[in-house]
Amino acid sequence: MRQFTYLTPKTLDEAISLHVAHGESARYVAGGTDVLVKIKEGKFAPDYLISLKHIIGQDRPFLNQETGELYIGAFCTHGSIEQSPLVQHHYPIIHDAVKNIGSVQIRNVATIGGNLVNAVPSADGAIPLIVLDSKANIYGTKGQRSVDLQRFFLGPGQCDLEAGEILTEIVIPPPLPRTGSAYIKHGRREAMELPMLGVGVLLCLEEDMTTCAKARICLGVAAPTPFRALAAEKYLKGKTVDENNLTEAGRLAGQESKVRDSIRGVAWYRREMVGVLVKRMGLKALERAKERHK
Residue 3's binding partner among ligand FAD, other proteins, none (Cβ under 5 to 8 angstroms by kind) is: other proteins
Question: Which CB, 118 or 150, lies closer to ligand FAD?
Answer: 118
Q: Is 5 in the site for other proteins (CB under 8 A)?
A: yes
Residue 285's binding partner among other proteins, ligand FAD, none (Cβ under 5 to 8 angstroms by kind) is: none
Residue 114's binding partner among ligand FAD, other proteins, none (Cβ under 5 to 8 angstroms by kind) is: ligand FAD
3 state SS of 9: coil
Residue 9 · residue 28 · CB < 8 Å:
no
CB of 118 to ligand FAD, least distance (A): 5
Determine the distance from the C-alpha atom of residue 96 to the mean position of all C-alpha atoms in its chain, rounded to a whole number: 11
3 state SS of 113: helix
Which residues of this protein are in contact with ligand FAD, per CB under 6 A?
27-35, 37, 52, 74, 101-102, 106, 110-111, 113-115, 117-118, 122-125, 161, 166-167, 194
Amino acid at 168: T
Cα gap 79→87, rounded to integer Å: 12
**Considering only residues 55-94, where is the footprint of other proteins by CB under 8 A?**
79
Residue 224's binding partner among other proteins, ligand FAD, none (Cβ under 5 to 8 angstroms by kind) is: none
Q: Is 113 in the site for other proteins (CB under 8 A)?
A: no
Strands 5-7 and 48-51 come out as parallel
Cα torsion 29, 35, 86, 206: sign: positive
Q: Is 8 in the site for other proteins (CB under 8 A)?
A: yes
Distances (CA, A) of 9 to 3, 12, 50, 160, 273: 19, 8, 7, 23, 45
Amino acid at 125: G
Question: Which CB, 28 or 153, lies closer to other proteins?
Answer: 28
Residue 117's binding partner among ligand FAD, other proteins, none (Cβ under 5 to 8 angstroms by kind) is: ligand FAD
Question: Which CB, 40 or 234, lies closer to other proteins?
Answer: 40
Question: Which CB, 12 or 49, lies closer to other proteins?
Answer: 49
Distances (CA, A) of 147 to 130, 139, 278: 12, 11, 27
Cα gap 68→177, rounded to integer Å: 13
Q: Which residues bind other proteins (CB under 8 A)?
A: 1-6, 8, 32-33, 36-37, 40, 49, 51, 53, 79, 102-106, 108-109, 190-192
